[in-house]
Structure 1
Amino acid sequence: MANRVLFFLLGIFIGTSMPANITELSKNTVALNTLDAKGITKNEADVLTSKLRSELIATAGFTVLERDKMDEILKEQGFQQTGACTQSECLVEMGQLLGVTHVIAGSLGKIGETYSINVRLISVKTGAIVRDVSQTYKGSIDDVLTSQMNIVAKKLAGIKVEEKKNRTWLWITLGIVGVAGAGTAYAVLSKDDKPIDQTPDKTAFDLDVNW
């Protein structure tokens, strides 16, 4: 009897401790379309897409359809497309055939040493974009794989992410008491080649999503 009460209380604690948007998302099944490669190889895009799928599952915010299962269902349904399925109409049709509530699609690009990850969460029912995540990172593709896909997955799930800025400005004010009463400020720049375009997600984490 005591054990039953303990498990009951534990279940209540877990349910109430999870963010509301996570519990809502967990009721939905998501299909992740292979991200479109721009400036990187198709193989790299495939690997990064697989990593994003794993990270989405790890957030506990999504029930993600496996890639092999997606291919199997689409083949059985006779789904055919010319070129990449990136337009909302195509993605919605694909989602309907797969029987999922939402589809995630987007692109992975590179210009110089900077990588750009752009993904959107689309409602199959309405065709509307529920969340739109844009992540820019200057560094190696290894870091994109090991750190940035995790950040993107959390943002898609509505989980707030604390990120490092690429520059930290430290203002040291030295009050110099003089005849003119002048002061001097020095800016000390600390360089960091990590994420360079991380604007606060002022809406992604506070969305009132009604799916």
Structure 2
Amino acid sequence: MAVAIGQITIMDILDGSHYEDQYAANTSETAAPTSGWSSNIPIPQAGYYVWKRSRIAYADGTFGLWGTAIRITGSQGPVGGQGPTGPQGPAGDPGEAARVLTLSASATVIRVSTRGQVLSGDIHLTAFRENIPSSVAVVWTVPSGVTLQAIAEQPDARNLLVGTVVSDDTEVTASATHEGTTYTARLSISKVYEASDPPRYLGM
């Protein structure tokens, strides 16, 4: 009768004798270990093989010779094929909406006659914000001497007085700082010179 006890197999013989097994490991696939035998099955490391040997333990307390050891583990097999694709994971948390500041103008050109007369009206500027709180102030920047006029009930708008523009190219900047990040919009306004009618003289 064979009885499995843990990892040790004990086989009873009719006279009360039984088999005992021992285990050892080494790096050889063909030669059994010469030492390290134990009744506990070792956990082989990479490149090691487990061997087993057996002998009879007689009822009178004597033992038979150890039988030929046999290797009970083999070489590591090939890597298995790729498993099936797992289920789709849960959706991630929604990202934070982008914050954007843009700038628009009623005109980007100032018409000026060759005599220096300004032919255009004042320019209306508006800063548009996306996901920037209205409590955050828009800061306007223009070259020295250029006047921006505030507009009642329109905190994000200004009137640029074209008569105060001296340079042929003027850059207007609007910026807003929220949570440590500054968002900036720029717009360029240019002068365009137009020919004036020649003076007319009335004949006598």
Query: Is TM more than 0.5 here?
Result: no
Q: What TM-score do you get using the length of structure 2 for normalisation?
A: 0.20
- Higher RCO, 1 vs 2 (CA within 8 Å, ≥6 residues apart): 1
* Higher normalized strand content (fraction of residues): 2
Q: What TM-score do you get using the length of structure 1 for normalisation?
A: 0.20
Larger Rg: 2
* Higher normalized helix content (fraction of residues): 1
